[in-house]
Structures are given as C-alpha cells and as structure tokens.
Amino acid sequence: MTRKKPSPAPVVLALLLLSSAVAAVSGQSPAPKQTAANNPRLQKAYVALQALKRAITDDPKNLTKNWCGADVCAYFGVFCAPSLDDPHVLTVAGLDLNHGDLAGTFPEELGLLTDLALLHLNSNRFAGGLPESLPKLHLLHELDVSNNRLSGGFPQHILCLPNVKYVDIRFNNLCGPVPAAIFDKNLDALFLNDNHFDFELPENFGNSPASVVVLANLRLRGCIPQSVGKMAGTLNELVVLNSGVRSCIPQEVGWLRELTVLDLSFNQIQGMLPESMAGMHKLEQLDVAHNDLWGHIPEGICALPSLKNFTYSYNFFCSEPQRCLDIRRIDDRQNCIAGRPDQRPGDQCLAFLHRPPPHCDEHGCFGPPPQKPPQKPHY
C-alpha cells in the first residue's frame, strides 16, 4: 500500500535553471551563490543538519559524508528551493534520507528547518521519539518516519502540524492510544500499521478526508464505526487486517463508492456481508478471509464491475452465486459451500450453525439481543 513519493529534486533543478535563464535574458550578472555564510535561513539549516549529523551514531552508507561546510544545498539528501515568502531567498525545502540504515536519534534542532515541506527518513534505525520542536515545521506537507525504531506513545506533535497531508509512522514500536483528533486532520494518507497501538476506533473516524487509511496489525477494540459512510467521496483504500476488530460490517461500508481496496481479513468479524456493498462500483480488491462471516454471498458483490480479487476463505459461508466464480481471482476455501473443493468438515459447519447468531446494533457493534416483550399472564 506504499505510495511512491515524488522527489523534489527535479522541481528544484527546474526552478534554479529558470532563475539563471531569467538573469541571462535580463543581462544581469548572476547573484552570488547562497550558502549558510550569506543566507540566514541556510545558516539555521546548517545548525539543524549539523545537529542531526552529530546525533547519527552509525552511517554505514556514508550518506552524510559530504555534510561539511556552508553549502548546505549541496549536502546529500538535502533539497533547496526558493522560499514561499521571498522567491529570491533559497531555503531547505526537503530532507530525504530514505533507506539509509542510519542509526541515531532526532535532535531538537530539527525545528530550525521551518521551511521544510518534505521529511522522508524511512527505513533507518532512528530510536526514541520525534522532537518536541516538530510543530515549528509549519510548512511540512509529508512526514515519513516509517520502518524505524521509534518508541513511546503516539507523536502528539503531529496534531500541531497545520499543513501536513501525508503521515507515515508504520513499522515502529509506538504504543498506547491513538488520539481521535488525528481523524479530524485534513490528511490525504494515514499509515499507522505495525505498531503497538491499542485503541478503539472513535465515532469521528469518518471525519477523515484521507484517501488511504492503513490500520493493519494493531490492537483495535470495538467496532467499525457507522461514520465510515461519511468517507464515501474520498476514501480509496481501507486496510484493517489483523487488528482485533470484533463487530459486524455496518451497512455504511457499502456507501464507499470511491473505494478500490478493502481488507478486513484476520479479525473477529461476524454476521453477513451487507447487501449495500453491491454499490461499491470501483472496488477492485475485497478480502474478508479468516473471520466468522456466514450466510450467502450477495450476488451484487460478485457483479461489481471492477472487482478482480475476492477472498472470503476461512469463514462459514454456505452458498455463493455462480457469478462469483467468474471473478479473475477468488478464494472460497474452508467455508461450508456444498459442491466446492476444500471446504470445512461438516461437523464444524453444523456446530457453527447451532451457535446463537450475533446481534449487531444499529452501529454495527455487538450488543445484547433485543428483549422480548413480557407475556401477559393467562388466567
């Protein structure tokens, strides 16, 4: 589910070439090269980058070998561009040290990079937490510190970044609750997966305008909120596999008309697949394997025009429309479907069918069964 992030280098190069061309046409002599020696913004960047270099305890690829001297724009992984408030002044707009295998911690001086738009530090060995100075990066658009060794609670300072759109903190050792406020942020992508977060999806979950939300391999409690239907116009991918979700699938999931990927596998989801899912016309991949779903597969789901992969193995479905078998890739193993190969033993299916069915309330959560009205006594 990883999105390829564009490198700012071609944009920076184009801007620099354009500046040189304008100077040549106008007959002006080119301005002196901007460095930390004559540009206060680059001077602050120099302080921040040198602090980061000192905080790196192992650099096996020598990525910071050339991080010397005042020309910070020439440092490996550092990208400069004209500042937004003064196009004549260069500033550090991007820092990309992805896949560097760097070990170390994040110094507070990173807050001096106040014009930073991209901070890409994934696939390293940074430990500890994000710096307290993170909110000073008020222009930050993309934050990717995934696949590191970060620990502690959810980095609350992310909530103070006014312009961040892409948050990727997956594959770390972060733990504890995730604040509900993250789903009110104006994000385009949110990757929380493969941490030790332990929380309940809040009712404001559906407020998120994100196109991609990945919550895999966490410790979720509660149910899929009914508010998920509010994400109908924006959500493209929702991945909640192996996260301990214990609920039914709310009808509102079927409202997600822009969704292309839905993965709810390896949870404790019960009940039936909602008929409303027949309205998810852009859905390409649907995985509900390894749950306790039962009943009939709605034919409308198998008739979805874009569906290429439908996995519903290791459940207790008792029938499937013939149309399902026409999908490019299906997996219906280990169900209770008569006439299909590799199904559950009959005694397992009978035992399941004799269990009391789950009662899901109007929010899709498990609840007590409705109480029968008391019988009037007969005299």
Per-residue model confidence as pLDDT tens digits over 144-181: 999 999 999 999 999 999 999 999 999 999 999 999 99
Helix (H, G, I), strand (E, B) or coil at 24: helix
- Res. 309: pLDDT tops 60: yes
pLDDT computed for residue 325 by the predictor: 96
Q: What percent of the chain has pLDDT over 90?
A: 83
Closest CA to 226 of 189, 192, 201, 246: 201
Side-chain-side CA neighbours of 4 within 13 Å: the count stands at: 2
Domains defined for the chain, CATH in brackets: 35-176 (3.80.10.10), 193-365 (3.80.10.10)
The string over 346-370, giving b where at least 16 C-beta atoms fall within 10 Å of a residue's C-beta and e elsewhere, is eeebeeeeeeeebebeebbbbeeee
Amino acid 218 reads: L
How is residue 211 written in tokens?
């196109």
Side-chain-side CA neighbours of 246 within 13 Å: the count stands at: 10
List C-alpha distances in Å: 270 to 71, 267, 320, 364: 60, 9, 17, 10
Q: Which of 98-107, 243-252, 260-269, 311-320 has the weakest average pLDDT?
A: 243-252
Mean residue pLDDT across the chain: 90
- Res. 6: pLDDT tops 70: no
The dihedral formed by the CA atoms of 11, 12, 18 and 22, expressed in degrees to the nearest 10: 150
Amino acid 66 reads: N
Q: How far apart are CA 99 and CA 89, in angstroms?
A: 30
Q: How far apart are CA 214 and CA 191, in angstroms?
A: 5
CB 265 within 8 A of CB 242: yes
> Which residue would you say has higher pLDDT here, 247 or 56?
56
At residue 30 the predicted structure's pLDDT band, cuts being 50, 70 and 90, is: low
Mean pLDDT within 302-314: 98
How is residue 123 written in tokens?
């696939």
Place of tokens 């590799």: 342
Closest CA to 313 of 334, 344, 337: 334
Q: What percent of the chain has pLDDT over 70?
A: 87
How is residue 309 written in tokens?
């992969």
